[in-house]
Structure 1
């Protein structure tokens, strides 16, 4: 019962709604630590979309794009294939690349980066949108929806916002909460009537809200407790109604029977049911049919509405709550009564997102930790207990490594707490620890927190923070750090020319970034045109790639670059002597050209002179250089158009190294092919393979990263394993010598 807005929606729906938070650096640790949001801008929508609270279950998206759930599971709403309730988070099966989640009464929604929506749990009213009324304990795809940028879940209905500003709804409709002009339930999405230019949606128990780009709020559904805000009478409204007395709104949230809105001045306004003081106006029991300002609050950057309580996060990182407190959900140290005015939640700072559930509350901190308090009879807090608490505790089971990157001879790991760790070669300062000493065990990159992605080049490194800023360090002879000079740096420095970044990639000596508007910016070495700006001149500051928009992912190799667009097409530019651009030629391209014969691509990765793509059907295709079998088609013939990798299906992740490639299958196994001189394929030999072979002694793999001559893998438990060459300690296990089979790293 919260609104949910993915971090990329500014690309599609206007920059006015998406100024990302600028947050202070801090270490992971206890709640006494000072982590403050330093900008009173609007919501950090990227963070807010990562956590959701239902009536009795919770969802969180880890930085690796997987979804974890805890609490009641009687209808399969945890998505783990069972109906067993869980007191600590379990992984939702079969989901990757998730950007946002929403939790209803007994069902769950997830929005993938490709714009598709997935649902699981109870489905008696068709709220899963799969065309049936059958419950599902594993995710199913919502029918007929693409290009979705936000989702929200109510008692028995669901909402989706598409990139074109239209709103779609499905599920129960007894009160008109689907907004299609009828009271008929729908098990597939139908369009909400009369709405366009929408930038956010929120689903309450039996009513719905939409925020348009002009700052107006529209509502429909049940109005028996005035939750539609000024709509006359107590009857239901089957099409949207505009709230005439509310303007300049930048965010909305819908609770059980009350509604909240944040205005551009950082104030909060509330209307609807008030039996527990959830409107925050100092009164109890008095229902409000016109929005009134919540007393004593300003600088609000996140908002959520539960069944009968309300929460906000302020720009200083504190959390405030009001309304029902019978289970301690206000976090004020007691578990009785009501709070008719906002009160500060005890012991929490550095919070960037909040989620109010039935009788409990969640808060996501900048350091990546999740905290919970309130009711817990189903284990919905995820802290391993079933006791109520009136003060916050940390949610268990969400630690460990979530992403890795491998350079020529150094490695990077991103932990769930948003910290970055590095090991291996450091002669250019690419480990970012302020020295030029090689490390054979992981060291933390100082002064970096809130990181959501990392990338490693030949001798330089990149980190993307949740606030949309990019930080770089290491070798800089060709300007690949993007600081406007060619001076190397052994510590992270801010690429000041960029903001609103959502993805990064590092090539041998150049770097790429995708912005929230779908544009791509590049910097560094450009003698083969790998910057894509139409020239062959190096650049020490970001330049825009020509002719590309709606980009969602990028990858970089020795001298070429690749981008995946939201429509599933792939475009490439730069050096092409081996056909690595996939356009059927071997001619360099100074601006993007389309890779031939590919559609429905879901992930891309490029190596030294070859490229790899995973399609929506789980198949893998490759093109470019093949002298070491790196295309995996059983030959050593180069190909300037994509060829299918032999024997692979149901693949979930791909990674291309110098002259070898890897994939992860849905069963958690890893497969590799290409050159194997240093054991980088992990099959126990040093024999080159022209078709995929299974990596030995690995199971439960989530993701892989192929470096020049070594490989990394992250398990579902957050563990890290490595194999291949190791002269600089790039395997990270503290022992000398290469390994042809995976060895567990010291980092967890």
Structure 2
């Protein structure tokens, strides 16, 4: 919702005392309940609430993880998110909008909403855009300012002429930066003066009063303003000397003045003069300093400050110790930021999937899956199903029951990853013992493979399906989880559904009857995640509560006893708040909202990680760490991710499934070999699979059915190679830029065969292309650039500093 930028070359410009004379592009955008981002390759991705089509996916199904928007070849320059709509500028200067349009905020001359990006007009000179609650402001290359949409408070600046369905120019001045939020607009002219208009009930315009204005009004007399960001009812801005200023409402400490007093004129925030970027949310503020550190303050009920607490902060407070932050965006109750390596991190409320990480509320920054070859993986007994970032679904390994979905007469096993239903876009996948389930991006549910217990949900028992078969006509499925012979799924309305084997009540329907079609479990509409074990199930609700049902012979339900009295309906486990849970064969692993790790159930192989082999029938904390983020459970081993992206494993290791380079079992969490930053992990009886931040997919452990997609077993993580869009580390790790930093020319060493090089500047604009290893740099401004090197079946982004 706000205009902001924080690129390394901007740091250099600020340090040199030079004025940035043109509007800068916003690459991250946080709306009320959805998030949008432009990645380094220029592609646009969105996630979160989609009630009004604000994600641009072509439907209204919410997306808990990032989804690519528009054609893959399209490159975007700037994006902004309103309450329930999105606007963006492409590299060709065209302006696009989608989502709700009741106030004409899409600017296409109608009040008809759109679920895919639609052009606003035929102008090709747009450079940046900012969305308020229901209005939009945008700049063209000539510095003119244009507004449209809701004008209830005069926020369009056109002297109260009413809502506008098309872009309307505001005056004749030349502008360099603009920010819209809620019902107000703040902008900077080329002469460095600051102007504001719209609602002013809390003094957020900075004009010294609480009078709303229908035309631009000067904010003081300073002529050194560099950038500005409008929050709900407060405003923050930077001057060219690096000082930070704030004004408006301050009931949550969002101004950072150290008190709760509201101010009607700009107030200096501390004495620091090293601020480079700032973004204002609903009741909190986020900012960057020249040293790459990230600071937050204000409202923190949902953890949107990222300080590992929910306590409000009245002064700027540093988030972690990282010094590589480069871009930020503050949403209503969440925050998203980007580091210099291109990785995205977000935190705060995730009630509508706006964090894009598939889990609950985050109190500290959590890494978001980037657009690499892979984004998710699921392990069956001896087969694998994995999703690529482009929505393709691939399977490999054992196919004895048709679980690979390759059709009748398919091979008994498949060593090479093979695409299922080419051209189809998938969003979620889960594998059971011998069956597979997946959800398409249109919300439909598909299953295939073994069906002896009705686990496919197609109304039959005992009839296997070798090809994906659609289940019913419902198109609101969101996620799935497969046990050995039972299946669980969530719908968009938060309801929980189950089918298949039910001998121990693992479906949770209050009986042991086996339904062969999806059956709703209870009436609750607040389920957010679910995990199916061998004969038990666990799930989380929106309030963070943990529930379990099914078999309990090993205490895996966590009810306090190990007995043969299974539970046929969901039973709440304690009163703690949880963010991640995974059901193994006969044990359970989970993470609480405070980042602590807990386990219970069978511990014969040390899978509980508490240093013993003693079973526990209630949750027990593993160690004292408070930075755990996500978990996965195999039959007799467990794996977990920490907030720093490190991967840990423990329990049985007879097949090398811990990835430690040995077959020695571990009784406590042990780091997986090779380091790296990991985003997603899955486990089965003898294997582990995980996706790294660069999008590469890695597997290790047993390989009897070719599930490692290579001939041999591996005791350490091995990258999946030889698949379309895959990045094989052995090919790309040798690629390097020489020299770096560079001026005049840079060479990419290690390339061979046919390749393409594309160089992007700090705003994501393509500035150079080459098909030889040398890239000419003459005429480029000093700063940080990103070079994309693409060769056969391999791609990599390399950072370059131009001097």
In the superposition, the TM-score normalised over structure 2's length comes to: 0.49
Decide whether the 8 Å contact of 1:181 with 1:193 is kept in 2. no
Match of 1:149 among 108, 127, 130: 127
User: Within the alignment, does 1:288 sit opposite 2:263 as a pair?
Assistant: yes
Secondary structure in 1 matching 2:10: coil
CA separation of 1:305/1:324 partners in 2, compared to 1, >3 Å: closer, same or farther? same
Partner of 1:49: 26
Shift, 1:19, TM fit: 4.5
CA separation of 1:416/1:249 partners in 2, compared to 1, >3 Å: closer, same or farther? farther
Partner of 1:394: 367
> 1:126-205 to 2 correspondence within 5 Å?
126-196=104-174, 198-205=175-182
Decide whether the 8 Å contact of 1:419 with 1:444 is kept in 2. no
Shift, 1:132, TM fit: 1.0
Partner Cα distance (1:180, 1:341) in 2: 37
What is the CA deviation profile of residues 604-649 of structure 1, one whole-angstrom value per residue up to 9, with x for unaligned ones?
A: xxxxxxxxxxxxxxxxxxxxxxxxxxxxxxxxxxxxxxxxxxxxxx
Match of 1:503 among 760, 763, 767: 767
Match of 2:293 among 314, 318, 325: 318
Match of 1:251 among 227, 230, 254: 227
Decide whether the 8 Å contact of 1:75 with 1:137 is kept in 2. yes
Shift, 1:295, TM fit: 2.2
CA separation of 1:230/1:468 partners in 2, compared to 1, >3 Å: closer, same or farther? farther
User: Within the alignment, does 1:329 sit opposite 2:329 as a pair?
Assistant: no
Shift, 1:384, TM fit: 1.1
Partner of 2:340: 366
Shift, 1:113, TM fit: 1.1
Partner of 2:10: 20
Match of 2:82 among 101, 104, 121: 104
Partner of 2:251: 275
Partner of 1:355: 329
Partner Cα distance (2:11, 2:356) in 1: 27
Match of 1:444 among 728, 733, 736: 733
Larger of the two Rg values belongs to structure = 2
CA separation of 1:124/1:41 partners in 2, compared to 1, >3 Å: closer, same or farther? same
Partner Cα distance (1:501, 1:239) in 2: 33
CA separation of 1:211/1:65 partners in 2, compared to 1, >3 Å: closer, same or farther? same
Decide whether the 8 Å contact of 1:20 with 1:500 is kept in 2. no
Partner of 2:599: none
Decide whether the 8 Å contact of 1:398 with 1:416 is kept in 2. no
CA separation of 1:186/1:469 partners in 2, compared to 1, >3 Å: closer, same or farther? farther
Shift, 1:506, TM fit: 2.7
Partner Cα distance (1:258, 1:71) in 2: 25
Match of 1:125 among 78, 84, 103: 103
Partner Cα distance (1:499, 1:303) in 2: 17
What is the CA deviation profile of residues 39-91 of structure 1, one whole-angstrom value per residue up to 9, with x for unaligned ones?
A: 99999999972211111111111122111011111111111111111111011
Secondary structure in 2 matching 1:78: coil
Secondary structure in 2 matching 1:442: helix
Shift, 1:713, TM fit: 6.8
In the superposition, the TM-score normalised over structure 1's length comes to: 0.53
> 1:551-570 to 2 correspondence within 5 Å?
none
Partner of 2:195: 218
Partner Cα distance (1:44, 1:214) in 2: 10
> 1:209-608 to 2 correspondence within 5 Å?
209-232=186-209, 234-284=210-260, 286-295=261-270, 297-336=272-311, 338-385=312-359, 387-400=360-373, 441-445=730-734, 471-473=746-748, 503-506=767-770, 512=776
Partner of 2:560: none
Shift, 1:146, TM fit: 2.8
Decide whether the 8 Å contact of 2:22 with 2:177 is kept in 1. no
CA separation of 1:370/1:6 partners in 2, compared to 1, >3 Å: closer, same or farther? closer
Partner of 2:48: 71
CA separation of 1:81/1:499 partners in 2, compared to 1, >3 Å: closer, same or farther? closer
Decide whether the 8 Å contact of 1:4 with 1:101 is kept in 2. no
CA separation of 1:514/1:132 partners in 2, compared to 1, >3 Å: closer, same or farther? farther
CA separation of 1:347/1:373 partners in 2, compared to 1, >3 Å: closer, same or farther? farther
Decide whether the 8 Å contact of 2:746 with 2:775 is kept in 1. no
Partner Cα distance (2:274, 2:337) in 1: 17
Give the superposed CA RMSD: 4.2
Shift, 1:116, TM fit: 1.0
Decide whether the 8 Å contact of 1:328 with 1:389 is kept in 2. yes
Decide whether the 8 Å contact of 1:223 with 1:235 is kept in 2. yes
Partner Cα distance (2:36, 2:19) in 1: 23
Shift, 1:416, TM fit: 11
Decide whether the 8 Å contact of 2:42 with 2:75 is kept in 1. yes
